[in-house]
Chain A
Amino acid sequence: MATETHDAAGHVADAAPGMPQLDFSTWANQIFWLVVTLVVIYLVLSRVALPRIAAVLAERQGTITNDIAAAEDLKQKAVEAEEAYNQALADARNEANNIIAATKTDIQKDLDVALAKADAEIAAKTAEGEKAIAAIREGALESVKAVAKDTAKELVTAMGGKADAKTITAAVTARMKG
């Protein structure tokens, strides 16, 4: 009813300023076009858009799952590599320890040999020295005996006794031993 006066001069709703919503003459038209709209949107969505989006989402889910699996794989590999590295490190350390030990033993052996040699030399020298000392001591003892015998004979003579060489020697020897 409002549309009849529409072309006049923009005075659209002058005649009956009612609610356009309750103008039932437009309902058939609106409902028809609404049904058309809904059917078109329904067909577009259910035939094209929704399956496509569902496929894209599923594909993305698959990709993500694959990527996660690949990442898991790589992580496994990394762990293995680390283990290998650690193994190599431990091996190298063992080797080094072995070498150190061997070297130490060698050095020890050499040292022992040298020490033994030096000990032997030292012992030899010591023995020589002792022999010399013994010889010197022997000599000294002999000299002391001779001096003592002489001194004793002289003393006995000076005291007016008769110097018996045999007795004096025995006495001196006894004294020196005691």
Chain B
Amino acid sequence: MATETHGAEGNSLVFHPMDQFIVKPLFGGEGMGMFTITNATFWMILAIVGVIALMVLGTSRRATIPGRAQSVAELAYGFVYKMVEDVAGKDAVGFFPYIMTLFMFIVFSNFLGLLPMSFTPTSHFAVTVVLAMLVFLTVTIVGFVKNGSKFLGLFWVSSAPLALRPVLAIIEVISYFVRPVSHSIRLAGNVMAGHAVIKVFAGFAAIAVISPVSVLAITAMYGLEVLVSFIQAYVFTILTCVYLKDALHPSH
């Protein structure tokens, strides 16, 4: 946004690829309290609206032969349901609404974030860390509630030689606690990286000679970002299912 003015008054090209991620109050105002309506809030609410439009209004006719919106809604339902059933197991179906919520929110904020001048909530660690911590806490609590102390068997690899087991246990514990970190940074990092790269190419478009190349590059990156938006939502969801499977069936 501000690249133009900066480039004009600065020494040469100045990129501000991170400006698009700034959270600011939507209706002016000075400070930012906990309940201020910001642009992040706005795009989250837009994601809610999108989910309601697709999943509720789209299916309101309850047609036996579905229309377009209903087909998409049913496709999303079947996609996530099959994923939960296949990856996490049949007894994880109770978590299906929860996982569906995560999937729909991530998909909608990723895709809405691809609109020009928009804001992507999932590019912020504040959002993805909360999502990942929710999954982490759910998995840990469910694991202990369902299996009791047997859940700790997840870290004690009984198939390994006895001498190796303590070492493996340390590694397993570390990898278990790294899960929410990688889970959150993967999503935010992917989304942020794509948006920032597009912004950098947009900055190059200010130079007349290479602007056609840069516009082509933006187009290509945009196509990749559409793919990444979906794949990251898919990956986040399927990893949630994998972790859930560990919690429900901790035997290695």
Contacts and interface: CB of A to CB of B under 8 A. Distances in A.
A, B co-complexed:
yes
Contact of A45 (B100, B123, B131): B100
Interface in B136-191: 188
Contact of B126 (A18, A30, A41, A59): A30
Interface of A: 2-4, 6-7, 10-13, 17-23, 25-38, 40-42, 44-46, 48-50, 52-57, 59-60, 63
B22 A12 contact: yes
**Residue among B28, B32, B56, B101 facing the most chain A CB atoms (10 A cut-off):** B101
A34 B100 contact: no
Interface in B14-48: 16, 18-19, 21-25, 28, 30, 32-36, 38, 40-41, 44-45, 47-48
A2 B131 CA distance: 26
Nearest to A49: B55
A58 B34 CA distance: 43
A178 B130 CA distance: 151
Contacts, number: 153
A21 B74 contact: no
B199 interface: no
Interface string B67-101: 00010011001100000000000000000111011
Given A11-B2, A37-B45, A57 B77 contact: yes
Interface of B: 1-2, 5, 16, 18-19, 21-25, 28, 30, 32-36, 38, 40-41, 44-45, 47-48, 51-52, 55-56, 59, 62-64, 66, 70, 73-74, 77-78, 96-98, 100-102, 104-105, 121, 123-127, 130-131, 134, 188, 192
A21 B125 contact: yes
Contacts of B192: 21
Given A13-B2, A45-B51, A53-B73, 19 more contacts: A12-B16, A17-B18, A19-B21, A20-B22, A26-B126, A30-B23, A30-B40, A34-B131, A36-B44, A38-B102, A45-B100, A46-B101, A49-B51, A49-B56, A52-B59, A52-B62, A53-B59, A56-B74, A57-B74
Given A29-B34, A37-B105, A41-B104, A49 B40 contact: no
Contacts of A2: 22
List the 6 shortest-distance A-B pairs measured between CB atoms, nearest first. A49-B55, A46-B97, A30-B126, A20-B21, A26-B23, A27-B126
A34 B59 contact: no
Contacts of A28: 34
Main secondary structure of the interface of B (DSSP, over half): helix
A10 B35 CA distance: 24
A56 B78 CA distance: 12
Contacts of B78: 57
A40 B36 contact: no
**Residue among A2, A18, A19, A26 facing the most chain B CB atoms (10 A cut-off):** A26
B32 to A, nearest CB: 6
